[in-house]
């Protein structure tokens, strides 16, 4: 049975400050929760599930059984789905050495769905690191976590002041995605570099554009004004990776 204190705590995890203070995040739904339970980079903090989920997974020893109304009360989803779990944030053993690798940088990408999808894209292409500006959407926002579909446990997402990060680190070439850059279809494959995706409305900041090795684009054939940030990132990564 869910207590009032437990319900309040979970609801308050919708706020970034508490997630940061507690070093935890929320995941929901059987597929996502079970995948995270098998991960080596995250540890279970607590789990709240309905009778059907608990009966189907007797191996999960630590849980609180909740009714449908209780699950609805604590869920961040429009339609709650059997289980909500709180996990410790992932711990990665790797050093953040970007040399010899492809990485992604997000400059003020603020839509949670875009950030989550880009984490999945990075995971699909075995990209280890994403560097986000501090005003990008929080990767541990419940909406972002759901969009990652478990990839949050395998991709190291950093939040940095991008100007400082670039100036203080010996980085490989920066490839900035713009509307007026060189066609990605005309470029050679790359084995290292940082692919930058900008804000959904305003694009990439001038400072980053000025130091980019190359501005790149996906040539427009039809009449759409622009591409979704995550879609564009996926196309460009798939074309540039060697």
Nearest to 106 by CA among 137, 132, 145: 132
What is the residue-wise DSSP string for 56-117? H-TT--S-EE--HHHHHHH--SSS--SEEEEEEPP---S----TTSEEEEEES---HHHHHH
* Residue 94 binned pLDDT confidence (cut-offs 50, 70, 90): low
Position 168 pLDDT exceeds 90: no
Mean pLDDT of 127-135: 96
120 CB contacts (<8 Å, ≥6 apart)? Answer: 147, 148, 149, 151
Mean pLDDT of 167-189: 92
Mean of all residue pLDDT scores within the chain: 94
Position 54 pLDDT exceeds 80: yes
% of the chain surpassing 70 pLDDT: 98
Position 61 pLDDT exceeds 90: no
What pLDDT, on a 0 to 100 scale, did the predictor assign at position 88?
97
What pLDDT, on a 0 to 100 scale, did the predictor assign at position 106?
98
Name the DSSP class of 164: H
115 CB contacts (<8 Å, ≥6 apart)? Answer: 106, 109, 132, 136, 137, 139, 144, 147
- Inter-residue contact 218 to 182 (CB < 8 Å): no
Mean pLDDT of 85-105: 87
What pLDDT, on a 0 to 100 scale, did the predictor assign at position 138?
98
What pLDDT, on a 0 to 100 scale, did the predictor assign at position 224?
87
Position 33 pLDDT exceeds 90: yes
* Cα maximum dimension of the chain: 60
Mean pLDDT of 102-110: 96
Say which range, 7-16, 23-32, 91-100, 118-127, has the weakest mean pLDDT: 91-100
Mean pLDDT of 85-97: 84
What pLDDT, on a 0 to 100 scale, did the predictor assign at position 97?
79
Q: Any idea what the Cα angle at residue 152 is, between residues 7 and 128, rounded to 5°?
A: 160
What pLDDT, on a 0 to 100 scale, did the predictor assign at position 95?
63
% of the chain surpassing 90 pLDDT: 87
């Amino acid at each position: 049975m869910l207590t009032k204190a437990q319900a309040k705590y979970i609801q308050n995890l919708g706020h970034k400050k508490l997630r940061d203070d507690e070093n935890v995040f929320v995941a929901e739904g059987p597929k996502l929760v079970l995948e995270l339970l098998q991960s080596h980079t995250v540890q279970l903090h607590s789990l709240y599930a309905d009778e059907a989920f608990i009966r189907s997974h007797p191996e999960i020893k630590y849980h609180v059984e909740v009714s449908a109304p209780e699950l609805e009360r604590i869920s961040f989803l429009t339609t709650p789905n059997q289980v909500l779990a709180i996990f410790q944030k992932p711990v990665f053993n790797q050093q953040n050495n970007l040399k010899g690798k492809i990485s992604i940088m997000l400059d003020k990408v603020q839509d949670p769905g875009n950030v989550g999808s880009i984490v999945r894209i990075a995971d699909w292409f075995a990209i280890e690191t994403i560097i986000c500006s501090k005003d990008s959407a929080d990767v541990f926002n419940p909406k972002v976590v759901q969009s990652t579909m478990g990839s949050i446990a395998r991709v190291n997402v950093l939040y940095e002041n991008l100007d400082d990060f670039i100036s203080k680190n010996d980085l490989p070439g920066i490839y900035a995605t713009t509307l007026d850059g060189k066609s990605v279809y005309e470029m050679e494959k790359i084995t290292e570099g940082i692919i930058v995706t900008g804000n959904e409305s305003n694009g990439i900041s001038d400072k980053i554009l000025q130091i980019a090795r190359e501005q790149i684009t996906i040539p427009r054939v039809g009449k759409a004004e622009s591409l979704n940030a995550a879609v564009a990132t996926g196309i460009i990564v798939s074309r540039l990776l060697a």
